[in-house]
Amino acid sequence: MQRVYSPFDHLLIQLDQAVRTVFGRPQATERPDPAAGLPDAELTDAERDHVARLMRINHTGEVCAQALYQGQALTARLPGVRESMERAAAEENDHLDWCERRVHELGGRLSLLNPLFYAGSFAVGAIAGLAGDRWSLGFVAETERQVERHLDEHLAEVPLEDQRTRAVLEQMRTDEVGHATNAVEAGAVALPEPVRDLMRLTAKVMTGTVYRL
């Protein structure tokens, strides 16, 4: 028999997911690390530090994405939308794992602000879900489009010889494009321009802060 989860069960599941995302090891899928088997580049100390900070930003971005998807899944009205959010969240866990691994390989550390960003993003995701599934899907589509542009900017800054970092970013970009496409095909509506502007401003604040902290 398939178990039916109560609202309290779902809250406990969300709490467990939050702890795993921020403080533990994410539950990754079976997909291999795109950097596996690629040689590590000989970077200068300044280059390694800069790339480590860029990957720290990407890691925090995936923390936020995980929280957004979990918040949206919690308040989604249609089971199909909820399942779609949960599948996307599982793929974002792969990104979390890959980014964390690369940050440590480069001698960097994760952001001290991850718990704060997770909490804020979860709240935003839950609110988006309460607004209705089509608006929630629209939020996903716009988020992934902005992440795609953000990854393009990082790829332009990572040295060409750093194949390991570039492989991770390129696979992440492919996944984000897929998430945006799936959201649109599922019925996403376009968000108003002021909302998109606010999302861009929030992302700018996050990236600038996490680069340092």
Can you read off the two tokens belonging to residue 80? 């199909």
Q: Is residue 111 classed as helix, strand or coil in its secondary structure? A: coil
Number of domains the chain is built from: 1
Domain of 131, in residue numbers: 43-212
Judge whether 88 lies within some domain: yes
What residues contact 152, with CB distance under 8 A and at least 6 apart? Answer: 173
For the chain, give the mean pLDDT: 85
Judge whether 8 lies within some domain: no
Helix/strand/coil percent split, the chain, to 5: 75, 0, 25
> Residue 169 belongs to a domain with what CATH number?
1.20.1260.10
Share of the chain above pLDDT 70, in %: 81
Using an 8 Å Cβ cutoff, are 179 and 88 in contact? yes
* pLDDT 10s digits, 10-34: 666 666 666 667 766 666 677 889 9
Would you state the pLDDT for residue 1? Answer: 53
Judge whether 177 lies within some domain: yes
Judge whether 161 lies within some domain: yes
- Other CB atoms within a 10 A radius of the CB of residue 208 amount to 11
Task: Give the CA angle between residues 68, 92, 33 to the nearest 5°.
Answer: 165
Beta strands per DSSP E along 45-171: none
Using an 8 Å Cβ cutoff, are 138 and 186 in contact? no
pLDDT band of residue 133 (cuts 50, 70, 90) is: confident
* pLDDT 10s digits, 34-86: 999 999 999 999 999 999 999 999 999 989 888 888 787 777 666 666 666 66
User: Which DSSP string corresponds to 19-34?
Assistant: HHHHHS-----SPPPT
Judge whether 107 lies within some domain: yes
157-174: average pLDDT? 96
Judge whether 4 lies within some domain: no
Question: Residue 41 — φ and ψ, nearest 5°?
Answer: -80, 155
d(CA 208, CA 75): 30
Q: Is residue 143 classed as helix, strand or coil in its secondary structure? A: helix
Judge whether 157 lies within some domain: yes
